[in-house]
Structure 1
């Protein structure tokens, strides 16, 4: 609102009495409806991992970028995944493009955001005869996609993982890792904001602003202030994940997706040191992630759903996860889950075949320029997964840079994401978020406490919330 007031005062100074009265009437309406007087180069729709990394990438190229999110940052699919930073091994035999993307991004994310990654390593384990028969094909896929691996003997696996099924027949080590989504995404958001990006949280896109065949901005509902607002931009990027089709329908565009529900179960005990995968083609209930010192996550399923805002986990899903997970770690059947949750994958329908399923659909991503639908200034990026979100931001950054003849390369491969908020930044953060200086300094005081690692993502959440409430 401070920006609006300055513009308002400047205009008052130069207007005649008659024009002044008309201007006051117009300006009061703008403030009432929350119309933003700033026009952005880029507006990103969706505050998940892809949207945040897209905002970061384009901001670092020097563009004036805003991001709009209907909830808080990472409150959708990205904040509800299984916690695995893929090495690509899971896709080595059936989705080579995704496999190559994952091993590349595994290394980059580990470098730019080491505070969010735990290098557990992963073990693909052969428990039953079909698993063992798959091993040769699996190793061939690893080699073809450049994924490092090592054979591990049964004896060594039993020493490394005492809770594993003693009937294990063989295992292969790969560089799978645990990644804490909240740490990663909040760090990327904060890095973007500190470099000039604007975040509008709790804003739900309700319509597009269209002049002839050009998209000029969006109308959003501010869920905090209970009002409509308008945000203008030269280019709109739809990165709303599984909600992308709903967003595009507001522009009259039909967009085919395969929104796929993945159910996960949480066990209040760390059962394994490595991420465990069954040595077989990707299937249900074949991943166990040691997410933290006292939490293991068993996942996942892959059921195509109709309505992304009306989904639920069935008892069959829960029973399947326990049954399949206990093949790798028998204790799972005894312990059960303390809770279950789900995410919805934004998979793409790239085939007209009716045989495609939530398991066979590719995990790679695509960029769609809706000039092909007769609408200029609107693009969508969809598909992919959290592991490849940075790459998705880079690729759409490259596409837009080429489109507007911007001769600047992506910087997100090498930039170290902000992992701590220094007390010295409190005054600057107060200015750009609109939050009270003493309040910011107070929450920063948690840094250096016994719970610093636990509280850090919440500090970032509060600050990114503040970025979105200035308007």
Structure 2
């Protein structure tokens, strides 16, 4: 049975929490990650699919642009199986877009993002569904990331390094003594039991729900939960990510995701991240905006729409679209063993995990540094990695090898593996 008093409890099974669990485990700490639903069921599993090159933020948030550019390269290196290197075009479709071109290129140069100006005629040959009236095209190293593939790979990697990953475990309270949290109180949604864990440090990575979690410790954080709607279309209309050449706005990204296309996104502040409504107007608006870049979009069936909530940092006088995409690690004074994260993007999830782990390590008296930037994730060589495992699902997952569905079987194999990881974690905690 695992130690009931681990070094760290991480609350939240999205990209930030999973990378923090992996990072801390690689530094030698005992880690238990608690997710109230299932891994990737929140904002991380409902992201847009874009692994940002940083180009989107060069004019509005240069710091985020630099971070995205670096993390784009790192994620593609440590998780090549979860990334499609599509590249991206920024396209000017009207005079205002064309006037932004000079500022855009200046911003790309300032933060050292690779780019190439493309003759619109050449771009149309490469991407025949582009608007034939495009006036300027700039190529950048955008990529597509398959969210669940990456999340499950990080979870499996963290478990391999000793972290326990527990789903259906909702934190419902903290027992505080003096300036410290003594116990984390957990509602086990599998058995209905109340569980108690006594970690040395608690790290809250609950995305847009972070403000609700820390409120149980009598703490307020300035967050701006912001809903974004994405629309999925039946056909893959482009080979590259297509971005509108303008300041970040609504409906200005069209992304090829497997055999589909996704257009996003909107930005609306919401009161409750558990209560979201998508209207037909949202779908019509995104289709209309996306069709300015790829007119064929209006002739393709809509498969569905979905929404995610960004945990943006609240800034006085700044609206949801203008708010920085930066993140903040907050080391609270009381309780002094509580650290929380707000802000950030899926692309920078590894970096958030690294910075959070630095703070946690400091509290625990360790100076050991992060290793995740050079740590290949489980699944990068999936079938070789599976052969090293000793669990009952290995042979089932290996059945995909050499079959017609070997490539498509990757996410199925990872799903089976993470199911076993979470069951095993429960057994080790004595929760089964």
TM-score greater than 0.5 by the shorter chain? yes
Which of 347, 355, 367 is matched with 2:312 structurally? 347
Structure 2 equivalent of residue 51 of structure 1? 17
Structure 2 equivalent of residue 23 of structure 1? none
Structure 2 equivalent of residue 307 of structure 1? 272
- Indicate yes or no: 2:173 matched with 1:207: yes
Which of 407, 411, 415 is matched with 1:453 structurally? 407
| Range 199-208 or range 330-339, more displaced | 330-339
Does the CA contact (< 8 Å) of 2:397 and 2:413 recur in 1? no
Compute the displacement of 1:58 (Å). Answer: 0.6
Extract structure 1 runs of 4+ deviating beyond 6 A: none
Which of 319, 324, 347 is matched with 1:387 structurally? 347
**Paired residue secondary structure (1:204):** strand
Structure 1 CA distance for aligned equivalents of residues 422 and 397 of structure 2: 14
**Paired residue secondary structure (1:469):** helix
Structure 2 equivalent of residue 418 of structure 1? 378
TM-score, normalised to structure 1's length? 0.87
Residue-by-residue CA offset, 1:423-445 (whole Å, 9 max, x unaligned)? 54342xx4xxxxxx3x4533443
Structure 2 equivalent of residue 110 of structure 1? 76
Structure 2 equivalent of residue 99 of structure 1? 65
Structure 2 equivalent of residue 441 of structure 1? 395
Structure 2 equivalent of residue 366 of structure 1? 328
Does the CA contact (< 8 Å) of 2:8 and 2:32 recur in 1? yes
Structure 1 CA distance for aligned equivalents of residues 38 and 402 of structure 2: 26
Residue ranges of structure 2 left out of the alignment (5+ in a row): none
Structure 2 equivalent of residue 465 of structure 1? 422
Structure 2 CA distance for aligned equivalents of residues 403 and 95 of structure 1: 30
Does the CA contact (< 8 Å) of 2:237 and 2:261 recur in 1? yes
How many residue pairs get aligned? The number is 422
Matches within 5 A, 1:24-173: 38-173=4-139
TM-score, normalised to structure 2's length? 0.95
**Paired residue secondary structure (1:138):** helix
Matches within 5 A, 1:213-224: 213-224=179-190
Does the CA contact (< 8 Å) of 2:14 and 2:44 recur in 1? yes
Q: Which has the higher helix share?
A: 1
**Paired residue secondary structure (1:338):** strand
RMSD: 1.4
Compute the displacement of 1:287 (Å). Answer: 0.3
- Indicate yes or no: 2:284 matched with 1:319: yes
Structure 2 CA distance for aligned equivalents of residues 118 and 392 of structure 1: 22
**Paired residue secondary structure (1:396):** helix
Structure 2 equivalent of residue 21 of structure 1? none
Residue ranges of structure 1 left out of the alignment (5+ in a row): 5-36, 431-436
Does the CA contact (< 8 Å) of 1:217 and 1:236 recur in 2? no
